[in-house]
Structures are given as structure tokens and as C-alpha cells.
Chains A and B, each alone.
Chain A
């Protein structure tokens, strides 16, 4: 099985490539990347003229909801949405029911994913049993089953000793700790960013400091234990500054930001639309500026979706009673294109890196996130010119909780290749 992707602008940050080239794929691997590759007529060919051809995009942070919350999303629907969003691999969080804190659930997720989709799944296991923040989960058996990182995500670890031991124990097994930085006492009852807007609306606020305090604590614990840590979905300028300082001090910290945190501000909450409720909350223009600077200078390594499906009736409630989060697979790439690349805030190369080579490096995948000869033939092909106009019926997730429905965003994912299999998603 061969596939030729021709005439595309190939952007491969790992190999320093940005030029119009052809890519020949054979048996699920990259066979060659060169100018004008000629093949026999029988070889399937995709004309990527006018499009960007990048290493397959990898989402470090999403919620697939299965097992347990199949009303919100299933592994099948979630991975289909990921595919349409241009992702060839995703990392799903452990807050399923039961929680992914053992090899049985990890196996279930991986096996189910293989059956229903070509999109690869790299599950993140629970940091503590039941994500209760009390005892360490069984890391070794989860690692054997295929987990690459551990996290209690939305149940932030308030016990500093537990976090220290998680770093030590996970580190000794080669597992990464993914940190959702939030001081639960400071954020208690909060429904949005704390400040002028929350004060006016009478909604309880979550100060940026609730995030900053845990970023500081956990980078300090990473130094104490001499282990790596990944900080998820940072939302505030203070966190960016703090991570920048930690990196200067040679602490092994990486970080990601979501598209909604660099695209939207707390002002949106004035509508009381629950699709603007997320945790961490949307913050201010100043924060967006700092987040984009952080992405640009590499303080923030990746863009991750934090795709968080919730059923219609769960979001159709009073703002303070609604669950946190929005779906994100199908809007992530266009938002990055419109808000970052076309606005000249970051380069196309940096954007591609933030979606592919950086997440691959953090997970530890050598054959993904690049288009080197012999690497896995995972490719994301997108347009900087076409628009994405997301209607409800275009959403592949079971849940439709997105504030971007009915809005036009510049940039569109056109096709995806996974293990050499071509998926054409949009007509040129």
C-alpha cells in the first residue's frame, strides 16, 4: 500500500523543513520526502497543492468519557471528532467511571479504540486511586497496559506530600506527572475568573493565584524530586512567568495551553452562556497576550484541546450549576490558524510544532511528530485559506457544547493520514 502526497508545503519542524515537497508513504511509514517524486499510475495520490502538510497532530489532553459517561461521548464518537479535527493521536484523561486507575480500564480503552478508529489513543492514568487524592494508583500495571502519564486532572492534588511521592514513584517508572494546577480552597465555588467582571455579574471568582500557587508548588516539587512535570492548560500570565523562571533554573517542566484560553476572554461570560464556563476559567486580554508570548518563545510547549464533552441538558442550566468545559477537537486547528498564525503572533512552523513534534517529545514518541524517513505515516493536511464553519450537524462529538457553533473561523483541516490510510475530510 502506497500513498503519494504531492505539491504540498511540507512543514516538519523537527527536520527544519518548510518547502513544497512530495511525500511517499509505503506500508504505513514515510518512504521518502523529496521534490517531484514520480510513481506508477496505480499509486493513490493526494494533491496537496496550496495546502500545508504537517506531521500528524497529537492532542495531549482530552476527555473521551468512556467507560461510564457514554451519554456525553464514546471512544468511537470522540475519536471520530478528533479525526475531523486533524488529530492522528490523542491522550485521554482518567476521569471515567470507573476511573482509569488500573490496567483493566487502560486495556479496555486501548482495545476499544483500536476496534473503532485509526486514531491512536495514549491514555493518561489516574495519579491517585479513584482520583481521590489519598493513595497512589497502581502505576506499574497501568504502564504495562499502555499508560504514559498519570494525572488526577480536574481533582487537583491538594496534598503536597502525595504530589511529591507521585513525582518520585512515577519518575522511577518513566511515567510523566500531568498537573492540573489549582488550589481548591482558593477556587471553591468559583464559576469564572475573579475580577471586575465576576464582581459585576455576582458570580464567584477563581483568582489566577489559585493556578499560580500550584504551578509554583509543583515546579518546586519537580526540583526537589529531580523529576519532569507537565503542567496542563495554563490560563494566566502569572503561570507563564513562573514556568519561564522554572525553565531558566533547569527544572524539567513542560506546559500546554488550550485554544479557548488563547482565543476568548472572561467578557464572554456576560452572556451567561454556559459554553463559556470552563476550568481554568477564561481570563483577560493581558493573559491571552502572555499565553501567546509563552507559546512563541517555547515556555508553553504545546496546544492541547482539553476536549470536554457534556450532554445538552447538563449545560442547559444556570451558569453556576453547569459543568466545566467545552468540546474542542474540531475547532482547535482553525483557532490556532486564525488567532495565532494569520494574526502573525506565531509562525506556522511553531504552530505545527505545538501540535505535533512537541507533544510527541513529551509523550516520548520517536516515530511520531516528524516526517523523517521511516517514521509512522501520520500526516495532517490543512489550509490557511479555507474557512471552517461549524454547524451543529457538522460536530462529530455526541455533545455539542461549543461556543463556536455557527461561527466562521479561518483555516480548515482538509485531510488526515494515519498509518498510511488517507481520510479526505473536506473538498478543496
Chain B
């Protein structure tokens, strides 16, 4: 089985496709454990990393994945590009396209921007986060982490807490977890719960304590500090008091509950240091799985042969 041409989002992916990516990622993990962490699978392929928004984790993990697969890479970010001179997204892409890239990895603040560029490029487009829309590789690495720890998704009770309205991570995770058979609850201040979110098959519980009760997985989202100006919550202190994940609150969950966070974390805002650094926390495992997932996605989309993962 093969994936589609692009990876624009989790919405629309089947259970089989998700499993294929996760299984491939497990094989890629083996590669990263070898003394020489490199395979020739994507030798001669040019991948452009187009980052119109700041990123540390996602960007470095894509870059490492590309290098481990022996692809050539071009890094493009707004700070150093002609975007600063007023070039449009489309013109930027049309120019890069003439350098014959095989794939684009793009992060942009506008929802739908990755799908917009697919009409103008020959290669594959991988969404590395488009506004508040989707961040598929994040959801996939979260899924890989959950599967490693819990074995399966069936009937798993997952809570996602924070600014759901602005979160692409939440959307991609909701699509993925629902497709894989988990139960998803979302929590956070009502000002951050978007209209009609229940239609995506989630339960909304704004009372954080009730929401935590009996959960197998808790995903905390990063609080964008500038949201305070928009009157979405009164103060960081009050946010921590109402929605901060503390040691007392984590006891409301299942005793083997996983604590996850896409990073970067705000210690003492959405999560206490004790919880972030606790046994339950798999936050750094998520980062580690990021490389394997991105290797898998690039490998599957750019059509490496079956045997090319071996040295």
C-alpha cells in the first residue's frame, strides 16, 4: 500500500495508512540506533524546508530525518529570504520550483497554505504546520509514542487540554485518535473551545478536574501567552490555577497515565515542572519519535524501494 502524493493533514487518512506510517517509523528507529545512522534511500532527492514561521523541534527533526535518508536539503526561512522584501508565497514557491525539488516541507501561519501550493509544484508537499489547521507529523509522532507505551488506541481515553481554537496539534490529534478508535475529550477555558468542535467527535469538558478523571493519556498544549491580550483568560496565574497540570491533578487520571506535550513547554503555566519531569511524562520520547516519523513520511512519499533502508 502507498500513501497519497502529499501529506497535508491527518483528515482523510485511513487507519491502514496511519498504521503504515507508524510501522515504517519503527523500522526507521532501527536505523537511528545503528552506529552509522544513515541509509541511501533518498540519495539524489532534493527536499526544500520552507519555514515561514519559527520552529525548533519540527524543523531540526525534519532536517535530521532528511540527512539520515541521504537527501539533499535546502533550508529556507523567512528571516533570510525575499519574503522580507515583499515576495508573495506563490512567487517564492514558483522560484524554488525551478530548482527542481522533489519535496517541500512547509510551515506557514495561514491555514490551507500547503494545499494552496500543491497546485503549483510537481513534488510532494508535507505540511509541517499550517496556521491553526493541521500539523500531521506531530499527531503521527504522538501516535507512535502512545502505541509504544499503550500497545493500541482502541478505547483509550485521551484528554487534550489548552487553547484548542488556535491549535493545529489538537486538530490533527483529534482526527488521528478518532480514526484509530480512541475516545477524545477536550478541556480548557470556554474562550478557547471553538464552535462546533463536538462535530469532530470529541467530548467537551471545561471543568479540568472532571476532564482528567480516569484518563489514559493527557496531552497538554502550549499556552500562547499573547492570548491574554485578547481577553481569552485573565492572567497566567489564574490559568495555572484552573488548567495547570499539577501532581495533585494527575492523580485523578489512570495510574499509568501518559503525560504528553508538543513543546515548547511553559513550566508553571500549563504544566508544573514536577509533572513535566515525572515518570508519567513522555515529552522527550515524543521528540525522539519525531525523527523516525519524519523519516517514514519522507520515505513513503518520495518512493524509496523496499530494501533501501538497509545499509
Contacts and interface: CB of A to CB of B under 8 A. Distances in A.
A272 interface: yes
A203 B88 contact: no
A200 B171 contact: yes
Contact of B133 (A194, A201, A207): A201
A174 interface: no
B131 interface: yes
B88 A201 contact: no
Given A199-B194, A199-B195, A202-B132, A320 B88 contact: no
B111 A319 contact: yes
A198 B88 contact: no
Contact of B111 (A201, A313, A317): A201
B194 to A, nearest CB: 4
Nearest to A196: B196
A195 interface: yes
A229 B11 CA distance: 45
Contacts of B116: 272, 318-319
A246 B108 CA distance: 45
Nearest to B196: A196
Contacts of B196: 195-199
A320 B110 contact: yes
A197 B171 CA distance: 12
A217 interface: no
A38 to B, nearest CB: 59
Interface residues of B, number: 25
Given A199-B197, A202-B168, A316 B110 contact: no
Interface string B75-104: 000000000000011100000000000000
A200 B200 contact: yes
Contact of A319 (B110, B165, B168, B200): B110
Contact of A320 (B111, B165, B194): B111
Q: Which of B111, B130, B134 has the most CB of A within 10 A?
A: B111
Contacts of A207: 195
Contact of A196 (B131, B132, B168, B195): B195
Interface residues of A, number: 20
Interface in B163-217: 165, 168, 171, 194-197, 199-200
Contacts of B112: 201, 203, 272, 318-319
A201 B134 CA distance: 8
B89 A318 contact: yes
A359 interface: no
Contacts of B165: 199
Given A272-B116, A313-B88, A317-B90, A202 B111 contact: yes
B108 A194 contact: no
A426 interface: no
Interface in A299-347: 313, 316-321
Interface string A174-211: 00000000000000000000111111111101010000
B131 A202 contact: yes
A318 B110 contact: yes
A288 to B, nearest CB: 18
Contacts, number: 65
B171 A202 contact: yes
B113 interface: yes
A338 to B, nearest CB: 28
Contacts of B168: 202
Nearest to B135: A202
A409 B97 CA distance: 37
A127 B249 CA distance: 56
Please indicate which of the listed interface residues A195, A198, A272 has the most CB atoms of chain B within 10 Å of its own CB.
A272
B266 interface: no
Interface in B214-267: none
Contacts of A272: 111-112, 115-116
Contacts of B131: 202-203, 320
Contacts of A202: 111, 130-134, 168, 171
A192 to B, nearest CB: 10
Contacts of B11: 200
Contacts of B110: 318-321
B134 to A, nearest CB: 7
Interface in A243-289: 272
Contacts of A321: 110
A199 B199 CA distance: 10
A301 to B, nearest CB: 31
Nearest to B112: A272
A194 B196 CA distance: 9
A197 B195 CA distance: 9
A207 B194 CA distance: 11
B265 to A, nearest CB: 22
A196 B90 CA distance: 29
A317 B88 contact: yes
A318 B195 CA distance: 23
B89 A198 contact: no
A207 B196 CA distance: 12
A244 to B, nearest CB: 25
B89 A317 contact: yes
A194 B197 CA distance: 11
A318 B133 contact: no
Given A200-B11, A202-B131, A194 B115 contact: no
Interface in B8-41: 11
Given A319-B116, A320-B111, A198 B194 contact: yes
A317 B111 CA distance: 11
A196 B115 contact: no
A196 B199 contact: yes
Contacts of A319: 110-113, 116
A316 B115 CA distance: 13
Contacts of B113: 318-319
Given A199-B197, A202-B111, A203-B131, 16 more contacts: A194-B195, A196-B196, A198-B194, A199-B195, A200-B199, A200-B200, A201-B112, A202-B130, A202-B131, A203-B132, A272-B111, A318-B113, A318-B116, A319-B110, A320-B111, A320-B131
7 contacts: A194-B195, A196-B196, A199-B194, A202-B130, A202-B133, A316-B90, A319-B116
Interface of A: 194-203, 205, 207, 272, 313, 316-321
Interface of B: 11, 88-90, 108, 110-113, 115-116, 130-134, 165, 168, 171, 194-197, 199-200
